[in-house]
Amino acid sequence: MSEDKVNLSVIRIGLLGDSTVGKTAICNSFMNIEFNPDTLTTIGHEKLEKKYKLSDGKEMKILLLDTAGEERFKAIATKALKAVHGVIVVFDVTIPKTFDNVNEWLQKIKDDLSEPNVVIFGNKIDKEDRKISREDAEKFAKSLNLKYFETSAKLNKGIDEGFDYIINESYKKAGSDNIKLEDVKPKKKEKSGCFGKKKGK
């Protein structure tokens, strides 16, 4: 498929993961919003937009969808990501349960979404009480043929690299399939924010 037939103006990237793993803080970091350790828990989902230049120089609009991770919102979290091109699944390297639950989030993606690109972020690597090693996380991601990134929203580390990867890969996949945003539909089953102030320059 030639590039001149690619017609994308928006790339949608969703974030999934348990509550308190730092999804909103990661969004804030990517948006150049000041880190706030007292960020409130997201209820439902939040949307953020940002202009972004792809690796080939094209300028796109990135729409981030930050979802709630609390148990009572899990059933609707993936449903909020109906037309995403890419998904970032986030866990907290200091809480093993959030890492164990990555499989559950990946299954929800498989069941509810239309085969988006997926990457995994291991967040809060700035903390000293780390429980999940980089080696174990990378081994897990590799077993699923997924890319893994170590991140710290507090230190703004690894986040731009991870977003660069998922955005460019999502664009390449959508472009090669000639899929416009409006054409992306959720997979049919067989049966039947809280953002802070902008950082200073």
Rounded (5°) CA angle 52-89-45: 70
| Cα(24)–Cα(28) distance, integer angstroms | 6
How confident is the model at residue 41, as a pLDDT? 44
And the tokens for 40? Answer: 């409130």
How confident is the model at residue 3, as a pLDDT? 41
| Cα(198)–Cα(33) distance, integer angstroms | 4
Domain 18-177 has CATH 1.10.1040.10: no
Question: Which is nearest to 59 in space by CA: 67, 50, 68?
Answer: 50
How confident is the model at residue 50, as a pLDDT? 86
How confident is the model at residue 8, as a pLDDT? 52
How confident is the model at residue 90, as a pLDDT? 97
For the stretch 37-60, pLDDT in tens is 544 344 344 577 888 999 988 888
Question: Which is nearest to 114 in space by CA: 8, 190, 187, 189?
Answer: 187
- The DSSP H or E segment spanning 15 is strand 10-17
How confident is the model at residue 198, as a pLDDT? 44
- Tell me, what amino acid is at 136? D
How confident is the model at residue 98, as a pLDDT? 97
For the stretch 15-42, pLDDT in tens is 999 988 999 899 989 987 664 454 434 4
Strand-strand pairing, 147-150 and 10-17: unpaired
How confident is the model at residue 80, as a pLDDT? 64
- The DSSP H or E segment spanning 119 is strand 117-123
Listed as ranges, residues in the chain with pLDDT below 50 are 1-7, 35-36, 38-45, 69-73, 177-201
